[in-house]
Structure 1
Amino acid sequence: MKRFNWSRFLAILVKEFRQIARDKPSVIMAVGMPVIMLLLFGYAVNTDVDHMPTVVWDQSMSQDSREVISSLRNSTYLDPDFYVRGYDEIRRYLDGSSARVAVIIPPDYGKQVQGSGNTTVQVLVDGSDPTAARAAMSAVQTVGFNTGWEVQADRLAQQGGATPVLPVQVETRVWYNPDMKSLVFNIPALIGLIIQNVIAMLTAFSLVREKERGTLEQLVVTPVRPTELMLGKLVPFVIIAFVSLMLILSVGILWFGVPPKGSLLLLILLSMLFVTTVLAIGLLISTISRTQLQAMQMTILLILPSILLSGFIFPRETMPLFLKGLGGIVPLTYFLVIVRGIFLKGIGLEYLWKETLVLATFSLVLFFLAAKRFRKNLD
C-alpha cells in the first residue's frame, strides 16, 4: 500500500490555489455573494406559526386551571404538553428549545376565580422567534382568557353595578429577544443558509469543471493518489469558507447589530464543523455529477429543502411528521439550533451537544461516501 506523499499533496494544493486565482468570478462569488445575500435577505425574510410546544406549571391543580389549559390547547396556537414544578425546569425547556411558551398558574387561581378576587396568570415567551412570540401572546390574551373572563366580568357588573374588572390578568414576559425584532431572529439563520449555499455550490463545481476541461484525466495518469488529490482540492475551499464565514459574521454583528450572547469562539468552531459538512456535501455532488449543469441542479435540490424543512422559515414543531423527518436529514436543521442558541440564548455545549454530534456524524459519513465515490471515478 502506497504511503501518503506530502510533496504530491502540496503540488496539488498549489495548483488548486493557482486555478482558483485565475477563476476570478468564483473568488468574487465566494467573497462577495455572502455579503450581498445577507444584506438582501436580512431585510426580506418573514415567518408564521402555530402549535407551539408549551410548558405548564399548574400550581392550582383545580378544575378551573384545567379548563384554562384545555382552552389553550383548543386554540391550536399552543400545545401544552409539558408539565413542570418550578422555574428551573421551565428555563431548561426554554433554553433547550423543547418549548416556546411557559404558562404559570398561581396556587390561588381556582379559589380567586370562584370567589370575588383577582388573580394573575404569568406567561413566559421565547422571543428568539418574534413571530412565534407574537402568536403566543395573542393566544394567551384572547383564547381562553379575555373572552371568558369578560363574560364573567359583565355578570359581576350586572349583579353589583360595579365597573367590570377582569378577574384574571395575563402578565406576559418575553425572554431572549424582548423587543421581538425579526432581524435578531433572521440574521443568525441567514449566516448558516448563505454559507451552505455558496460553499456547496463552489465545491460541487470544482471537480466537475476539471472533468469538462479534461484536466482530471491528466491528473489520473500522474503518481498522485486519490486521497492526496481530494485533500489538495479541498483545503483551498476550507480556507475560502473560513474567510467567508468570518466576513458575514462581521457583517451580521457590526452592520446589523446582532452580537452573539454566547461564546464567539464556540460559534466559530461549530460553524467550521458545519462548513466541513457542507464541503463534504459539495464534494459528493461533484463526484456524482458529470456536468456543471447537473452539479447546479443537485445543489438546488439541497437548497430548497434546507429553506423549507430546516426551521429557517417555518418552525419544525408545526410540520407534519413526515416533513419533520425529512428535515432531520438536512444538516442546516441542526446548525440553526446551534447558531440561534448561541446568538440569542447564550447557551453552550451543555444544550447543543446533540446537534454537534449529529453534524460531526454527517461530516464523517459524507466524507467517507465522497472519498469512496471519488476513488471509484478515478479508477
Structure 2
Amino acid sequence: MKRFSLARYWSVVKKEIIQIKRDRPSLAIALAMPLMMLFLFGYAVNTDVNDIKTVVWNQSPSAYSRELVSQLENTHIFQVVAHAGSYSQLEAMLDEGSARVALVIPPDYTRKRDRGEKADVQMLIDGSDPNIARTAASNAQIIIQNNGMTILEERMQKQGFGQLEPVVELQPRVLFNPNMESIVFNIPGLIGLIMQNVTMILTAFSLVREKERGTMEQLIVTPIRPLELLLGKITPYVIIGFFSFCLVLMLGTSWFGVPVKGSVMLLVTLSVLFLLTTLTLGIFISTVARTQLQAMQMAFAFILPSVLLSGFMFPRETMPVVIQWLGGIVPLTYFLEILRGIFLKGVGLEALWKDTMGMVIFFLLIISVAIIRFRKRIE
C-alpha cells in the first residue's frame, strides 16, 4: 500500500493554485463576497426594535396628556409620526402601514387625573410583526405603570403619607452584552455564516470542474492517492479562506466596534479548524455532484437549513428536540457557540471543548466519507 507522499500532495496544491489564478471570477468571489455579506447583513440583520411609528389621538389636550406622550417618545421605542382626529384615521394608518401603534387618550383623561380617579388609555398595536408588537406592548405597559406610580406617590405625599417605597425591588444585571445590542450578538454569527457559505461553494466546484474539463481521467492515471488529491485541493482554499476570515474579523471589530473579549489566538486556531471542516464538506459535495450546477444546488440545499438550525437566527433551545438533533450535524452550530463564547464571554477552551470536539468529529467523518466515495469513483 502506498504511503502518503508529500511530493505528490504538493504537486496537487501547485496545480490547484494555477487553476485558481486562471479562474479570476472565483478568486474575486472568495475575497469580495465576505466583505459584501458582512456589510449587507451587518446593517440589515438587526433585532433591536426602535422608533416604532406611532399615531396619537389626543381627545383631552392638557399638560397631563402631553406628558404621557413625551414619556413614550423619550424611550426612543416609540416615534410619534402623526396626530389623528378619529378612529377611522387611526385604522387607515394602521392598515396602510404608515403607523404600527395608535395611542387613544379619552376625553375624560384630564378630568379624571384632576379628581384622582383611575384614567384609562387605549393602545392599538399592529400584530402582523410579533416582535414589534411584543416590544410595543411590554414597553407601553411599563411606561404606563411608572406613570401611575408617579401619580400615586404625588397623591400620597400631598395627603401626608410620605414617600411610597416598594416592598420588593429587582436589581437586574446583564452579563456579556450589558446594553443588549443585537449587533454585538449578530456580528460573530455573521463571521461564521459568511465563512461557511463562501468556502463551501468554492470547494464544491473543485472536483466537478475537473470532471467537466476532462482532466479528472488524467489525475486518475497518476500515482496520486485520494487523500493526497483531496488535501491538495483543500490547501489553497484554506489560505484564501483564512485571508478572508482575517479581513472580515478586522472589519467586524474595527468598523462595527465588536471587541474580542477572549483569546484571539484561540479564535484563529478554531476558525482554521472550521475552515477545514467546511472545505471538506464542499469537497464531499464535489464527489457527489456530476456538474457544477448540481454542486451549487447541493451547497445551497445545505446552507439554507444551516442558517435556521445552527441558532444563527433563532435560539436552538426553543426548537423541538428532533430539530435540535438535526442542528447537531451542522458544523456551523458548534462554530457559532465558539465565536460567541470567545467574542462575548471571553471563555477559553475549557468551556468550548465540546463544540471543538464536535467540529473535529465532523471533519474526520466527512473527509473519510469523501475519500471512500472518491476511491469508488476511481475504481
TM-score with structure 2 length normalisation?
0.70
Following superposition, the deviation at residue 4 of structure 1 comes to: 2.7
Following superposition, the deviation at residue 164 of structure 1 comes to: 5.1
Following superposition, the deviation at residue 6 of structure 1 comes to: 3.0
What corresponds to 1:25 in structure 2? 25
Residue identity opposite 1:327 in structure 2 = G
CA deviations on 1:175-218 (whole Å, 9 max, x unpaired) are: 11122222111111100000000000001111111111111112
Give me the whole-angstrom Cα distance separating, in 1, the residues matched to 2:164 and 2:253. Answer: 49
What corresponds to 2:314 in structure 1? 314
Following superposition, the deviation at residue 170 of structure 1 comes to: 2.1
Identity %: 59
Give yes or no for the alignment of 1:353 onto 2:353: yes
Deviates most, 168-177 or 275-284: 168-177
What corresponds to 1:73 in structure 2? none
Residues 277 and 331, structure 2, Cα contact 8 Å, conserved in 1 = yes
Following superposition, the deviation at residue 306 of structure 1 comes to: 1.5
CA deviations on 1:30-50 (whole Å, 9 max, x unpaired) are: 1111011001100011349xx
Please report the RMSD computed on the Cα atoms of aligned residues, expressed in angstroms: 3.0
Larger-gyration structure (1/2): 2
Residues 262 and 347, structure 1, Cα contact 8 Å, conserved in 2 = yes
What corresponds to 1:8 in structure 2? 8
* Match runs of 1:330-369 below 5 Å: 330-369=330-369
* Match runs of 1:30-69 below 5 Å: 30-47=30-47
What corresponds to 1:201 in structure 2? 201
Q: 1:182 to 1:4 in 2, by over 3 A?
A: same
Residues 203 and 279, structure 2, Cα contact 8 Å, conserved in 1 = yes
Give yes or no for the alignment of 1:233 onto 2:233: yes
What corresponds to 1:221 in structure 2? 221
What corresponds to 2:324 in structure 1? 324
Following superposition, the deviation at residue 334 of structure 1 comes to: 1.0
* Match runs of 1:102-181 below 5 Å: 165-181=165-181
What corresponds to 2:373 in structure 1? 373
Give me the whole-angstrom Cα distance separating, in 1, the residues matched to 2:290 and 2:319. Answer: 35
What corresponds to 1:60 in structure 2? none
Following superposition, the deviation at residue 250 of structure 1 comes to: 1.1
**Secondary structure at 1:171 match in 2:** coil
CA deviations on 1:329-358 (whole Å, 9 max, x unpaired) are: 111111111100100111111111111111
What corresponds to 1:93 in structure 2? none
* Match runs of 1:244-255 below 5 Å: 244-255=244-255
What corresponds to 1:264 in structure 2? 264
CA deviations on 1:140-165 (whole Å, 9 max, x unpaired) are: x96xx99xx99x99xx99x9966654
TM-score with structure 1 length normalisation?
0.70
**Secondary structure at 2:290 match in 1:** coil
Give me the whole-angstrom Cα distance separating, in 2, the residues matched to 1:297 and 1:21. Answer: 25
Give me the whole-angstrom Cα distance separating, in 1, the residues matched to 2:160 and 2:370. Answer: 78
**Secondary structure at 1:169 match in 2:** coil
Give me the whole-angstrom Cα distance separating, in 1, the residues matched to 2:40 and 2:198. Answer: 15
Give me the whole-angstrom Cα distance separating, in 1, the residues matched to 2:366 and 2:322. Answer: 23
Displaced runs of 4 or more, over 6 A: 159-163
Residue identity opposite 2:240 in structure 1 = I
Give yes or no for the alignment of 1:296 onto 2:296: yes
Residues 46 and 313, structure 1, Cα contact 8 Å, conserved in 2 = no
Residue identity opposite 2:351 in structure 1 = Y
Give me the whole-angstrom Cα distance separating, in 1, the residues matched to 2:364 and 2:160. Answer: 73
CA deviations on 1:73-94 (whole Å, 9 max, x unpaired) are: xxxxxxxxxxxxxxxxxxxxxx
Residues 46 and 183, structure 2, Cα contact 8 Å, conserved in 1 = no
**Secondary structure at 2:173 match in 1:** strand
Residue identity opposite 2:301 in structure 1 = L
Give me the whole-angstrom Cα distance separating, in 2, the residues matched to 1:175 and 1:321. Answer: 27
Following superposition, the deviation at residue 304 of structure 1 comes to: 1.1
Residues 234 and 280, structure 2, Cα contact 8 Å, conserved in 1 = no
Residue identity opposite 1:242 in structure 2 = F
Count of aligned positions: 290
Give me the whole-angstrom Cα distance separating, in 2, the residues matched to 1:349 and 1:227. Answer: 29
